[in-house]
Amino acid sequence: MTTLYRATFLHTPENPFTHAEALRAEADGGLLVEGGVIRARGAFTDLSAAYPDAPVTDLRGGLLLPGFIDTHVHLPQVRVIGGLGLPLLDWLDQCALPEEARMADVAYARGVARDFTRGLLGAGTTTALVFGSHFAGAVDAFFEEAAKTGLRAVTGLVVSDRLLRGELHTTPERAYTEGKALIERWHGVGRALYAVTPRFSLSASEGILDACAALMREHPGVRFTSHINENTREIEVVRELFPGARDYLDTYERAGLIGRHSVLAHNVHPSDRELGVMAAARCTAAHCPCSNSALGSGFFPLRRHLDAGVHVALGSDVGGGTGFSLLKEGLQAHFMQNLLPGGVPLNPAHLLYLATKAGAEALDLPEVGAFEPGQQFDAVHLAPAPGTPLDAVFRNATSPERALAAAFATGTPGDVARVWIAGDAVHTRD
Ligand SMILES: O=c1[nH]c(=O)c2nc[nH]c2[nH]1
Ligand SMILES: [Zn+2]
């Protein structure tokens, strides 16, 4: 099936942190999509002349962006968003972990997976690196829900063997066998990819990190994700637990877990050595600004990451984060860099890149992240309801870039009118 989409569209096929003019915009643009793949892109008048028989879907009056890519979000925490006012370790104990224990019940986990997937798609997120559950049945339930809805999900069994609560602990042997079974069942099936996921070094012994490394070695192509350097108290505990490690990163590095397919969430308090190793390994820091603010974790040192050459993408970190919208994460990143002495001034091109192409790079998914011919048509149509302030800005914007800035400043999931993955409509606002 072929469709010619007519829209004001923007995308960042290049990295605006390293390329001038990275933001590409068409005020009256056309995207020719055939079988879910973008075949041609340009001014609408040119495309309609070249493809006069293609049926036109008219999306004028809003903005069409590549689908958002969330590189850090927790499946079992959708129902506990809003536990404000606690630092990380207290928030885990009081808010997150009691809910995560409920995921042992697969029927409960199915409901959570539905809420979660709806939250992502409704915010315009089409690809997500998802911290799964400590329970294999819940991870299965989420893979099934993602397959049903079309969401591109990269996820896995979360493993820990200490310092959480008994129900959430496993053993290195079980972590390996359950992980292996899930990889064999899901990795590379449809749009699903597996991510080996020790929760964080605080809750993961060397034995369980070694089990994770065995899964990575035996299944090339699976992704790796965990947390790092989020909170000063957490870092102290990790230092005590791993007296032989040079730093937090080293707890993963010496197990063989750091490489091109590794995504480490937060990294608010890194050392220069850690940044150097992350850059050399070409792994990614998933920056989660709303979570860092809500949990009081600190200001992400974006300048130091960029100077060291570390790739950075964006994560919502639901439920430490405050919702699924990567527009809100972009705005909060902008605020925090503004407030941080020596912070990086972030313009709309940076924000769009962080919310889209940067995530595709992080996950090594060249088929998504922008509107290049040959890429999948994963897209979000922002079309605010008539009479809203964002609608007023859109109707009076002097350029697509101005409208994009306003979308980050004041856009919400309520402004997401329609979302496509591989050309299929996966969400339509009521
Ligand atoms: O923001 C966070 N959310 C979590 O669930 C978590 N677990 C370990 N470290 C974490 N940080
Ligand atoms: Zn997290």
- CA distances (Å), origin 186, targets 136, 138, 196: 12, 13, 12
Write b or e for each residue in 42-59: b if 16 or more Cβ atoms lie within 10 A of its Cβ, otherwise e.
eebeebeeebeebeebeb
Q: Which of 88, 103, 201 gets mutated to test ligand 1 (max ligand atoms within 8 A of its CB)?
A: 88
Based on the number of CB atoms within 10 Å of its own CB, is 243 exposed (0-12), middle (13-18) or buried (19 or more)?
A: exposed
Pocket lining: 143 vs ligand 1, CB cutoff 6 Å? no
Q: Which of 74, 161, 235, 264 gets mutated to test ligand 1 (max ligand atoms within 8 A of its CB)?
A: 74
**Which residue has a Cα nearest atom 10 of ligand 1?**
227
Q: How far is the CA of 227 from the centre of ligand 1 (A)?
A: 7
CA distance 284 to 258: 10
**Which residue has a Cα nearest atom 3 of ligand 1?**
320
Pocket lining: 95 vs ligand 1, CB cutoff 6 Å? no
Neighbouring-strand partners of residue 37: 34, 376
Neighbouring-strand partners of residue 223: 195
Q: How far is the CA of 39 from the centre of ligand 2 (A)?
A: 37
Pocket lining: 134 vs ligand 1, CB cutoff 6 Å? no
CA distance 229 to 235: 6
CA distance 294 to 135: 27
Residue 430 has what pLDDT? 82
257: closest CA among 212, 287, 222? 212
Neighbouring-strand partners of residue 160: none
Pocket lining: 227 vs ligand 1, CB cutoff 6 Å? yes
* CA-317 nearest atom, ligand 1: 1
Strands (E), 14-92: 24-34, 37-43, 56-58, 63-66, 68-74
Cα atoms found within 13 Å of the Cα of residue 100, Cβ hemisphere only? 30
Contact call for residues 383 and 411 (beta carbons, < 8 A): no
Least distant ligand from the CA of 89:
1
Interface ipTM: 0.98
Pocket lining: 74 vs ligand 1, CB cutoff 6 Å? yes
Q: What is the pLDDT of residues 317-326, one digit of tens each?
A: 999 999 999 9
Quickly tell me which residue has 């080293």 as its tokens. Answer: 250
Q: Which of 90, 169, 200 gets mutated to test ligand 1 (max ligand atoms within 8 A of its CB)?
A: 200
CA distance 105 to 28: 50
* CA-100 nearest atom, ligand 1: 5
Helix (H, G, I), strand (E, B) or coil at 66: strand
Q: Which of 92, 197, 203 gets mutated to test ligand 1 (max ligand atoms within 8 A of its CB)?
A: 92
* CA-291 nearest atom, ligand 1: 1
If residue 246 lies in a helix (H) or strand (E), which one and from where to where? none
Pocket lining: 200 vs ligand 1, CB cutoff 6 Å? yes
Helix (H, G, I), strand (E, B) or coil at 230: coil
Q: How far is the CA of 350 from the centre of ligand 2 (A)?
A: 23
Least distant ligand from the CA of 294:
1
Pocket lining: 199 vs ligand 1, CB cutoff 6 Å? yes
Contact call for residues 154 and 223 (beta carbons, < 8 A): yes
Contacts of 223 (CB under 8 A, 6+ apart): 129, 154, 156, 193, 194, 195, 196, 261, 262, 263, 363, 364
CA distance 31 to 246: 50
Q: How far is the CA of 63 from the centre of ligand 1 (A)?
A: 33
- CA distances (Å), origin 212, targets 17, 153, 173, 197, 255: 33, 19, 10, 8, 9
Residue 29, both tokens: 């643009």
* CA-321 nearest atom, ligand 1: 1
Q: How far is the CA of 372 from the centre of ligand 2 (A)?
A: 31
Contact call for residues 326 and 360 (beta carbons, < 8 A): no
Least distant ligand from the CA of 91:
1
Least distant ligand from the CA of 92:
1
> What is the signed CA dihedral for 320, 363, 201, 272, rounded to 10 degrees?
-100
Task: Give per-10-residue mean pLDDT for the chain (430 aa).
Answer: 97 97 98 98 98 98 98 99 97 98 98 99 99 99 98 99 98 98 98 99 98 98 99 98 98 98 99 99 98 98 98 98 99 98 98 99 99 98 97 98 98 98 96
Pocket lining: 320 vs ligand 1, CB cutoff 6 Å? yes
